[in-house]
Structure 1
Amino acid sequence: MDDLSPAVREAFARTWVDDRPWAFLTDLTAIGDRMAGGPGDRRASTLVADAFTDAGVRRVEFDPFEMARWTRGDTTLDLTAPDERRFEAVALPYAPPATVSGPLVDVGYGTPSEIDAADVDGALVVASTTTPAGGRFVHRMEKFNYAIGAGAVGFVFVNHVPGQLPPTGALRYDEEAAAPAVGVSAETGSWLTDYAARGGEATLAVGAETTPGESRNVEGRVGPDTDRELLLCAHFDAHDIAEGALDNGCGIAVVVTAARLLAEMDLALGVRVVGVGAEELGLTGSEHLADRLDLDRVAAVVNVDGAGRFRDLVAHSHTSEATAAVATRVGNETRHPVDIEPEPHPFSDQWPFVRAGVPALQLRSESGERGRGWGHTHADTRDKVDDRNVREHGMLTALIVRELAATAADGEIPRLDDELAAAFRDADFETGMKAAGIWPDGWE
């Protein structure tokens, strides 16, 4: 990075001690409920717009879109046999209002093979939030939808992280699910698996409402006005049960920090900077963005979902050797290692672009533990954040975007090819994605 100008180097030096990322994260998490479509979501988008403007992002504007707003009601999970007990449970977004009863069936991790091996017809399936070591992480939506497709009448998602923390997370992409589902703590899950082994039965009742709603993206630009552009984005919405500091307050704070640095740079391509709405309820904001943009003009996407949480940066390259090479080069030159994960996945805001062949990086950070940790629970609060990680990852993100711009300007970032579907099949995604209704039609 010897070619950075003195002014840009000074901007990096200021970032090292800048208190604005922490102030932004504080204001964002103080909102509380940022569930898409609600008043907190709108307040958050205004806060992001103000932060973009303060960072030097030009032409900041709101881009509203329609989405399915889900509102939580009362939820109960009652054991009816062999004992009578009530357990704390949290409804999972897009669960329909319904009451179902049946035997408890423990399917372990909830992988398709485990569900196939169990008799789940008419049952309340009990599955863990984690997955077996040695394979890819199997998403909640895959487990739920596969279980319901196999005949289950309800789904109980058991946190593998102790601490009386029932997890949440959407069941479908922007639409009501076919059956109710709840999250329960690891401690409750221990009881339920025990009761399942003893022929236990339970009744699950979810009160909820899915109605037409509206969220909005926040867009602006840094760098020159060029025909082709890069996209730098992060979602700012969060689940209503916590502050959403880690998921994804850190991520949008990283983007604001990176944008402030990019605004000082001489970039080879323009960069569209976007705070994305409604990611947690189905990637609705990024789907709207991908539909609206001319994707032939988008050279690459950098989606910051999970960066800034922990010490080490991870870059998911989604089969793109060119974007992986850029992230590796920046990591090596700055002596801040960036771990590359080449396998694609469809569960964050890069997906609508990757699906269309746009090269991408998703930037997250690694805790060393498998799964979300505090994310999607009551414990996702500001006190878990070390804002040194936010500032460092903001600097690394800016350098990665700068390098991507230079590489793309030279025409050296190829589009994703017809082998993308094969990569998803090789990673064993096809069964789960088809169950969740997100396997692309053209990949048959």
Structure 2
Amino acid sequence: MTERGPGPVLTDDAARALGSAWTDDRSWGLLTRLTELPHRMGGSPGERRAAELVREAFADAGLADVRIDEFPVQYWERGETEFAVVGDQPTRGSDTEGTGSIDRSFEAIALPYSPPGDIEGPLVDVGYGTPDEIEAAGSVVQGGIAVASTTTPPDQRFVHRMEKFGHAVAAGAAAFVFANHVPGQLPPTGALRFDAEAAVPGVGVSAETHDWLSEYADRGARARIRVDATTRRGSSQNVHGVLGGVPGENADEEVLVLAHYDAHDVGEGALDNGCGIATVVGAARALAAIEDELACPVRIAGVGCEEIGLLGAEALADDLDPDAIRAVVNVDGAGRFRNLRALTHGSETMAEVTERVADEVGQPIGREPEPHPFSDHWPFLRAGVPALQLHSEPPEGSERGRGWGHTTADTRDKVDPRNLREHAMLTALLVRELTRADVPRVDEADLRDRLRDQDYEPGMRAADVWPAAWES
């Protein structure tokens, strides 16, 4: 297929397609069906049923050659979790200082890939769980139950949950507690490892529980964690189809658009990432209506097991030739809030395309230039494929963090259908422009240096995701 240069963003056909998209509720319908499932945990029967729903939605949108591909995973399944502060400890705030006993239970949820276990040890509050704080805690972490906040100081780089856990384990912690920093947002979940059972148990607790744990840790209290969970061999699935021709016959390259459809088992997964896959389906419908304006094929994919290690994206990257992918558009976070945000991962051309579309249609699209490795674009970006991640901006004044995501409060009532429609339309226009654009490949050394400049290397090493090829 002959590559075309940039043309008007809003052709007559595109304007008609967007007009239809404005009243199309099928994305909302898909979101509804996904959130009605018991859960969509990676490798579960619910995730398998979700893949079928995505396949039906892709076929209905007009994609060709829609199929489901299976891949192996380590399937983690939760049982019961118990968490309590126990034993004798100093008392405070009374006329008589002394020693009292406590046996107080708190709500907690196991973190995916936590091993089963029954652990008792001293509570150790390591603050935000940054490497410096864990190092400063010193030997008291050894054999202790390390408690770390879900957030990071605003003047410091983001420290991922897996990095906090990795540093705590390296310091000798016997268990890990991940404490939400936002009041009223419930205990958070999130994987401790990628596709493998972790070294020690880990649980999530609320901000309100964290307040008590900080005090009890100051008093020298002990805690007990009991986790019932299993990790066994299983499988997950990717769903994908094509618009705009057959890759390999009419062109050497395709644009890949993907979103993960799995979610944690503690909630409905509406925001993370039901909104993303629903946005992709809406965009696919709009692109199908302007298929003759695509300058190369577009592959649309719903990937599984993002929440437990980007496993679906890794499997898809193994199945596809990275050299035959012009660009990857990862829709993770779009549709949640009002204003779309584009993470361009170091590509100036991606930023230019985003700015052009935003200017011509008069819609705000925020931009973030720096790369990160924390979503499904990563296996492709790592292989040199230019990446665009579409997210959305939370309301002004929101605290740093994922909000309702990864908690039982991630439910459909938080979603505004207008955001799904608008972000689907903008996604479609961005994808169409990327089929026409000449986007330079990602330079491996530049990507590595950018991640190092943001101080991601220690965390990626702690989580065991720093590319082996970069060791030298």
* Equivalent residue, structure 2, for 1:64: 70
Mapped contact 1:229–1:272 kept (Cα < 8 A):
yes
Mapped contact 2:185–2:409 kept (Cα < 8 A):
no
Mapped contact 1:320–1:416 kept (Cα < 8 A):
no
* Equivalent residue, structure 2, for 1:246: 271
Q: Deviations over 1:193-224 (max 9, x none)?
A: 11011111111111100000111000100112
Q: Deviations over 1:160-181 (max 9, x none)?
A: 1222610001011111111100
* Equivalent residue, structure 1, for 2:452: 425
Distance in 2, matches of 1:32 and 1:335, equals: 40
Q: CA deviation at 1:415?
A: 2.9
Assess, with a 3 A threshold, how the Cα gap between structure 1 residues 86 and 3 changes in structure 2: closer, same or farther: closer
Q: Which amino acid aligns with 1:44?
A: A
Q: CA deviation at 1:413?
A: 2.8
* Equivalent residue, structure 1, for 2:184: 163
Mapped contact 2:175–2:200 kept (Cα < 8 A):
yes
**Of 149, 174, 187, the match for 1:128:** 149
Assess, with a 3 A threshold, how the Cα gap between structure 1 residues 191 and 19 changes in structure 2: closer, same or farther: same
Q: CA deviation at 1:234?
A: 0.1
Larger Rg: 2
Distance in 1, matches of 2:14 and 2:65, equals: 22
Distance in 2, matches of 1:201 and 1:134, equals: 32
Mapped contact 1:104–1:201 kept (Cα < 8 A):
yes
* Equivalent residue, structure 2, for 1:139: 160
Q: CA deviation at 1:389?
A: 0.7
Q: Which amino acid aligns with 2:305?
A: A
Distance in 2, matches of 1:188 and 1:229, equals: 49
* Equivalent residue, structure 2, for 1:331: 358
Q: TM-score normalized by structure 2?
A: 0.91
Q: CA deviation at 1:38?
A: 1.0
Q: Which amino acid aligns with 1:151?
A: G
Q: CA RMSD in A?
A: 1.2
* Equivalent residue, structure 2, for 1:177: 198
Q: CA deviation at 1:237?
A: 0.3
Q: Which amino acid aligns with 1:135?
A: Q
Q: CA deviation at 1:355?
A: 1.0
Are residues 1:89 and 2:89 paired?
no
Q: Which amino acid aligns with 1:178?
A: A
Mapped contact 1:269–1:406 kept (Cα < 8 A):
yes
Q: TM-score normalized by structure 1?
A: 0.97
Are residues 1:78 and 2:84 paired?
yes
Distance in 2, matches of 1:150 and 1:395, equals: 48
Structure 1 range deviating more: 414-423 or 427-436 = 414-423
Mapped contact 1:98–1:206 kept (Cα < 8 A):
yes
Distance in 2, matches of 1:232 and 1:41, equals: 20
* Equivalent residue, structure 1, for 2:245: 224
Correspondences of 1:365-384 after superposition (within 5 Å): 365-367=392-394, 368=396, 369=398, 370-384=400-414
Mapped contact 2:382–2:444 kept (Cα < 8 A):
no
Are residues 1:279 and 2:306 paired?
yes
Q: CA deviation at 1:248?
A: 0.1
Q: Which amino acid aligns with 1:47?
A: L
Distance in 2, matches of 1:164 and 1:173, equals: 25
Assess, with a 3 A threshold, how the Cα gap between structure 1 residues 175 and 220 changes in structure 2: closer, same or farther: same
Mapped contact 2:185–2:407 kept (Cα < 8 A):
no
Q: Which amino acid aligns with 1:90?
A: I
**Of 107, 116, 140, the match for 2:135:** 116
Off by >2 Å, runs of 4+ in structure 1: 1-8, 134-137, 224-227, 412-417
Distance in 2, matches of 1:134 and 1:341, equals: 17
Gaps of 5+ in 2: 1-6, 90-101
Mapped contact 2:242–2:299 kept (Cα < 8 A):
yes
Mapped contact 1:237–1:277 kept (Cα < 8 A):
yes
Q: CA deviation at 1:344?
A: 1.4
Mapped contact 1:233–1:276 kept (Cα < 8 A):
yes
Percent of aligned positions with the same letter in both sequences? 59
* Equivalent residue, structure 1, for 2:55: 49
